[in-house]
Structure 1
């Protein structure tokens, strides 16, 4: 397939735009969307010809229900916005929810506690037969839960569609344009200065490029993921996203249950090497049928360029066990990467009164950014 030619950027304005956004990933686009809905004149600066980072390297899973606290608030607000934007921008959205499979009594205990806390509207407990209706290939299960409010998109289609919709609604995009510095009222780019009344810097894990002191304050590091697309065993179709016991240790609402401690003990006894690579065994099915399977988590300010095949082997081993097959056939593999902070789920900082630096530092940008952005702009504007 021949790559599309890079889009032609307009000339930089001489008069200030109301809002300049640096970064055309989902966090930057979320701020542009909210600003457009407020009737503001917006410009977006993006160093690449299109979004190629965490915003398109993910599962497309809008995983709202398992969150907690402020994260849950942002996720639920973002959910409503995703539904509206799918109609406006013309991308598909899947309302099949999330299936959490339980393969032990302890894992089922997590789901029972979670259901008791959240209620039937958010969490619907399933027996083995109920799980098999949604995931026919599931093996060695005792039950599960369906989270009907969760959504799914194809990030490789939804993120470009959002950018196109914004452009159709008057947003100027400066693609292939590096922002080398930001000062109050000006984004200094490789093409010249972009004047702006307000500025949002949303470059994800590269926050340290322009704001190293902020990155150090929030202890920002890059989280590297091992992710795969595999053939669907037996050409099965699975509508919901699927989470496992590993996910019960990762998402706040599930991890807060008393039974989660026993789940960790079980996994430690059976496969401690999977915890060493911080596995979150989950998958979604892409429109073409491929299974997006992952993932593991590796943290560093700067990663070496070498990926260990043994880590991929672990994901494939646990994935094959989940599907009840001897092996899975890989179609493609890639390295995901996102900003992570051990001290905060969100980095929102004010280096100058008219400037905000924003990064989702918890790997849930697709889930929360559209809910976070309005709170940032309420304060900034």
Structure 2
């Protein structure tokens, strides 16, 4: 008898992928009293769910993403308490370094009311160590922070304690209605959720092509905090305004984009989102740049890291930064921010195709489960 003919396990819901999207669906299914099996090809989650800023960027979302983010926020608060991982509720400071950025924030505050609190330059400096070019900013108090190197693993441990069965180091080969063939045997399933992020094309290439799924690769770094100061907030900038959908309703955003196109077009060309968060130990996670391909180029361009370091140093008002670690993040990207498809009966392929999985997955998953197991 071959390993593929052997029965490995069975459950009401089988989830393929133990990143935050997969864990969100395992959590939602377990909350419904369903038996759950999670299959993960690696020995622990190593992808986008642990290579990010740990930023629950709630307020800057729009449309369905905002609804998912607000719902996910409540789940994050509960999970942090139940699983015992660190979570910060101090929100985000958006730093404005030009008058047009201040105008965007004023317009955003009018749109969102109490979700946005405007700051003058002194108010920004009292919260974040920044350079002298800051002219104002805003606090987004609903945003959250977690340590991505800790949180996803803690959620997996909590789910295991609650009866979710994990098969680590187990690759899903064939997904069919009622069954998943894996590298260790067959898993019978009432329902299947495929949450493999950018690797959708490994399982359903026609679906990935039809939905124009690509891999977004980005450059991120961990650096020593040059000020030795606690930064309670996540930090966004004018470049962040160009990347988050919530700001698109602000008329002055066109002025921000035009200024960058005239003064720093190279930053737009590399998809710079200048932002940072502080890890619990004090180091800063900084970044990031964005590049889109179906197959990621394996060669790293050193100038990308150099630009991230230079722009972050300028933001913080220092001459240089000490690098602790460098890494490449990869996530699924597509024209639509969320992908939920049914390639076969009882099977859902789910991906957050906009780089906001940590922010929205815990809110998205219950809606998928409502439909899948109805």
Global fold match (TM > 0.5): yes
Contact 2:131–2:318 (Cα < 8 Å) also in 1: no
User: How do residues 138-149 of structure 1 correspond to structure 2 at under 5 angstroms?
Assistant: 138-149=131-142
* Matching residue within 8, 14, 37 for 1:12: 8
* Partner-residue secondary structure (3-state), 1:140: coil
User: How do residues 327-338 of structure 1 correspond to structure 2 at under 5 angstroms?
Assistant: 327-338=320-331
Q: Deviations over 1:14-65 (max 9, x none)?
A: xx41000000000000000001110010000000000000000000000010
* Matching residue within 352, 356, 371 for 2:348: 356
* Partner-residue secondary structure (3-state), 2:87: coil
CA distance in 1, matches of 2:118, 2:313: 25
CA distance in 1, matches of 2:170, 2:131: 47
CA distance in 1, matches of 2:158, 2:248: 37
* Matching residue within 149, 153, 176 for 1:156: 149
CA distance in 2, matches of 1:187, 1:213: 19
**Unmatched segments (≥5 aa) in structure 1:** 1-10
Question: What is the deviation of 1:136?
Answer: 2.9
Tell me the residue number matched to 2:111. 117
Question: What is the deviation of 1:137?
Answer: 3.1
Question: What is the deviation of 1:267?
Answer: 1.4
Tell me the residue number matched to 1:8. none
- The total of aligned residue pairs comes to 367
CA distance in 1, matches of 2:147, 2:248: 27
Tell me the residue number matched to 1:6. none
Q: Deviations over 1:62-116 (max 9, x none)?
A: 0010000000000000001100111111111100100001001100000000000
- For the pair 1:43 / 2:37, whether they are aligned, the reply is yes
- For the pair 1:52 / 2:46, whether they are aligned, the reply is yes
- For the pair 1:319 / 2:312, whether they are aligned, the reply is yes
Contact 2:89–2:142 (Cα < 8 Å) also in 1: yes
CA distance in 2, matches of 1:354, 1:269: 51
Tell me the residue number matched to 1:286. 279
* Matching residue within 150, 165, 185 for 2:178: 185
- For the pair 1:238 / 2:234, whether they are aligned, the reply is no
* Partner-residue secondary structure (3-state), 1:344: strand
User: How do residues 134-283 of structure 1 correspond to structure 2 at under 5 angstroms?
Assistant: 134-283=127-276
Contact 2:131–2:314 (Cα < 8 Å) also in 1: no
Q: Deviations over 1:181-219 (max 9, x none)?
A: 100000110011000100000000000001001100110
CA distance in 2, matches of 1:102, 1:128: 8
Contact 2:129–2:316 (Cα < 8 Å) also in 1: no
Tell me the residue number matched to 1:108. 102
Contact 2:54–2:145 (Cα < 8 Å) also in 1: yes
Contact 2:235–2:277 (Cα < 8 Å) also in 1: yes
Tell me the residue number matched to 2:3. none
The structure-2 alpha-carbon separation of the partners of 1:139 and 1:237, relative to structure 1 and needing over 3 Å to count, comes to farther
Q: Deviations over 1:117-173 (max 9, x none)?
A: 110x20000011111111133431111000001000001111000000000000110
RMSD, aligned α-carbons: 0.9
